Amino acid sequence: MFPFLFMVFAASTAVTEGAGLLPDGPLQKAVGDSVRFNTSNTPTETLILTVTWKFKGENIFVATPANNKTTPGYEDRIIYFPSTASLELRNLLTNDSGEYKVEIISSTGATDEGSTTLEVLEAVSGVTVSPNSADLLENASVTLRCSSSGSSLTFLWMNGSTEVTASDRVQLTDENKTLNFTSVSRYDQGLYRCHVSNPVSHSISETVNITVNYGPEDTRVEVSPNKPYHELGSTIILTCSANSRPSPQFKWHVNSTQLIHDGEKLQLMNVTMSNNGNYSCRAFNPKTSVTVESPPVPITVTDQHQPPPPPPPYWIIAVVFVVVIVAVLVGGGYYYYQRKKKLNKKLSDKPVNRNFPTVTGGGAQDNATYSGEARCDVQPSRVWPGDRNHGIPAELNYADIKSFQRKNGERVQLGSQDTTTQYSEVKVNNNPSTSSPPTYDVHMQRINKPTPQPRANVADIYAEVKKNQLN
């Protein structure tokens, strides 16, 4: 029993050591190719008694010192290398995919075994893309589909030399066989190819041309020579441009009237005053059916001996002028307000003198001298700030005095005066009635005056009186 156990242990040890006899799999080959299963066995003086190759557990080849036996179906496809016990299998079929094992028994009774797997793939072929072209408007959608023959295929989309990747507008579905643009942009335009590959082969489709039409945009006119005016008899060239695909059609207009001439350039030769006007061009895209007009460009033709028209005033000068005017008005108003406020304060703070001195004046028609008192009726022009509730006037408008009454009751009517009369004090009566204008007691003294001078301006007289009151 012990010798039997020894033999089993030795055999199991030999099998374990032979696990790396063949390379790791899977070995990948294309249909129709050949594969060679190279063993790690090295030639020795030890005689090999038997070599057995198996596929999926079934013998496909057995070699002994006497002869070699090949299973039917493999006769013309197997080549055996006895020095290393390796095997080559030709004209591979997809059915050849699976596990292969080798078992080597030497004359000493030692056994070596190894295994690996083979994957026979169908080569890539017949790669096509549909549609084979696409003429689109910007923001439209399009789907490209790639198809191919072969096994274990991998799909890759390229735009020129750049790989196409998924984004919010680009979708790759069906294991990357389908490329979908939900909204194409002008930057998606290009030549697209579908790359198909597997571990044993690869192939590329024909190019697919995607054209994206847009515009026109940014339509504009350039003038050559570019200057504010042009001389009589000179030549002017106007060029229209626009951002558009395909290139747009151009029509020219002057003062909104279409010209007969079409095209990118408009040439005005031997210009006259009749060429003056606002020129513009309209760009039309036949693919998008969009028309965009350029901003008008003024053309001014003038006699070269005449000076050019003056440049328009700069807006900065206008703004500065307005600011200065506003500042002067505001400053003048503020100064007037402060002066008036100061004057009113002096008038309101000055005490009312009920005992007025005698007033001197020259209101009579002759040069006789007299003194006396008079009473006059005056319409008030202002009310003292402190006596607003009593209706007491704040100041007297002397130009409004038409008559006055003496103490004896005699009323004197004042007419036009040729001499200047100076009123120094006016005393208001106590307890004036609120229902009638107040009366004032005026003390006057008649004095001799020089020869009458031209009548003074009432405003000057009023200013002088105000000055005396303030002093």
Where among 89, 121, 153 does a domain terminate?
A: 121
The pLDDT assigned to 359 comes to 40
Q: Do 430 and 455 share a domain, yes or no?
A: yes
Q: Do 6 and 117 share a domain, yes or no?
A: yes
The pLDDT assigned to 329 comes to 86
Question: In this structure, is residue 331 part of a structural domain?
Answer: yes
Q: Do 8 and 117 share a domain, yes or no?
A: yes
Q: Do 10 and 98 share a domain, yes or no?
A: yes
Task: Look up the CATH number of the domain holding residue 265.
Answer: 2.60.40.10
Where among 121, 156, 186 does a domain terminate?
A: 121
Contact 292, 283 (CB under 8 A): yes
Q: What is the pLDDT along the chain (471 residues), one digit of tens a residue?
A: 333 222 322 333 333 334 578 999 899 999 999 999 999 887 766 678 899 999 999 999 999 988 999 999 899 999 999 888 999 999 999 999 999 999 999 888 888 899 999 999 999 999 999 999 999 999 999 999 999 999 999 999 999 999 999 999 999 999 999 999 999 999 999 999 999 999 999 999 999 999 999 999 999 999 999 998 899 999 999 999 999 999 999 999 999 999 998 999 999 999 999 999 999 999 999 999 999 999 999 999 988 655 555 555 666 777 777 888 888 888 787 777 777 777 777 666 655 444 444 444 444 344 333 344 444 444 444 444 444 444 444 444 444 455 656 666 667 665 555 444 444 444 545 454 444 555 545 445 555 555 555 565 656 666 665 666 665
Hey, what's the torsion of the CAs at 27, 31, 33, 37, to 10 degrees? Answer: 30
How many Å separate Cα 331 from the centre of its chain? 44
Question: In this structure, is residue 307 part of a structural domain?
Answer: no
Q: Do 183 and 147 share a domain, yes or no?
A: yes
Question: In this structure, is residue 354 part of a structural domain?
Answer: no
Question: In this structure, is residue 279 part of a structural domain?
Answer: yes
Where among 206, 226, 261 does a domain terminate?
A: 206
Q: Where does 206-314 have alpha helices with state H?
A: none
Contact 207, 189 (CB under 8 A): no
Q: Do 365 and 439 share a domain, yes or no?
A: yes
Helix then strand count (H, E) for the chain reads 3, 34
Q: Do 255 and 240 share a domain, yes or no?
A: yes
What secondary structure, in 3-state letters, does 156-197 show?
Answer: EEEECCEECCCCCCEEEECCCCEEEECCCCHHHCEEEEEEEE
Determine which helix (DSSP H) or strand (DSSP E) holds 111, and give its type and residue range.
strand 111-121
Q: Do 130 and 67 share a domain, yes or no?
A: no
Question: In this structure, is residue 459 part of a structural domain?
Answer: yes
Question: Domain limits at 367?
Answer: 359-470
The pLDDT assigned to 282 comes to 97
Number of domains in the chain: 5
Question: In this structure, is residue 170 part of a structural domain?
Answer: yes
The pLDDT assigned to 339 comes to 77
Q: Do 201 and 217 share a domain, yes or no?
A: no
- Give the integer Cα–Cα distance in Å for 143 and 109: 67
Question: In this structure, is residue 159 part of a structural domain?
Answer: yes
Q: What single-letter amino acid sits at 26?
A: P
Question: Is the bond leading into 65 cis (omega within 30 degrees of zero)?
Answer: no
Q: Do 408 and 390 share a domain, yes or no?
A: yes
Q: Do 130 and 116 share a domain, yes or no?
A: no
Q: Do 163 and 56 share a domain, yes or no?
A: no
Length of the chain: 471
